[in-house]
Amino acid sequence: MKKLKNIFVSTTFAEDNSKISNVLSICKNENISNIELGSNHIYEKNFKKIIRQYDFRFIVHNYFPVPKKSFVVNIASLNKRIRNLSLQHVRKAINFCHETNSKLYTVHPGFVVDPTIAGRSKKNYDFVWKNKNSNTNYKLAFKNMLSSLKKIVNFAKSQGVKVAIETEGSFKKKNLLLMQKPNEYKELFKYFKPNDLGINLNIGH
């Protein structure tokens, strides 16, 4: 494959629960050197050592490096423990970017209601929710997201890492997600400058 400077291939092309070490080996064999480290891999002991074996350009997405104990990252969670755990994960990911010279980290904006698990069946590749009472939670979740993003942006600046927020979208679960509507972005950028927080526009959403 011809090397293209600004085109990155996500490692999520690989099967779920694949090893990033195996996926990067495939990329090397295919002459793919611009890599987005995705979120569908299993935990491995030393991600930094694995990544440093390759002279690639990396960007990092949401759930990478994969934590040893799996959970659903939700920086907007109404549950303080989950929100703090999510922020800890994001800080570790930003540190990882700094230490591996990865220039960009993208994060999900979070959910109005916490999912219980990530769906991976043929019928459902979305998250799974049990509590769907989202009508009274939206404003507080949005407020929590803004608060978390301020901490994330400030920390990323201190590490010299750029951050972006990914767009969400769901026809059937629209009441459970944030950042699906234009007015939400108008509100978001009252608090952030475009140079401080970018947008990861996922057209699949």
Are 42 and 19 in contact by the 8 Å Cβ rule? The answer is yes
Note the pLDDT tens digit of each residue in 38-51: 999 999 999 999 99
User: Sorting pLDDT into bands at 50, 70 and 90, what band is 134?
Assistant: low
In a domain, 39, yes or no: no
User: Sorting pLDDT into bands at 50, 70 and 90, what band is 170?
Assistant: confident
Range name among 14-28, 51-65, 103-117 with the lowest pLDDT average = 103-117
CA distance 153 to 159: 10
In a domain, 62, yes or no: no
User: Sorting pLDDT into bands at 50, 70 and 90, what band is 173?
Assistant: confident
Within a 10 A sphere around the Cβ of 107, how many other Cβ atoms? 26
In a domain, 146, yes or no: yes
In a domain, 115, yes or no: yes
In a domain, 13, yes or no: no
Determine the 3-state secondary structure of 76 from DSSP. Answer: coil
In a domain, 50, yes or no: no
Q: What is the pLDDT of residue 183?
A: 95
Domain extent for 119: 71-92+110-159+169-197
Strands 34-37 and 198-200, how do they pair? unpaired
In a domain, 125, yes or no: yes
Number of domains composing the chain: 1
- Kindly give the residue spans of alpha helices, DSSP state H, lying in the chain: 20-29, 47-51, 80-100, 138-159, 182-188
- Strands of the sheet with 57-61, listed across from one edge: 9-10, 34-37, 57-61, 104-107, 162-166, 198-200
CA distance 188 to 4: 32
In a domain, 142, yes or no: yes
Mean pLDDT, the chain, whole residue set: 89
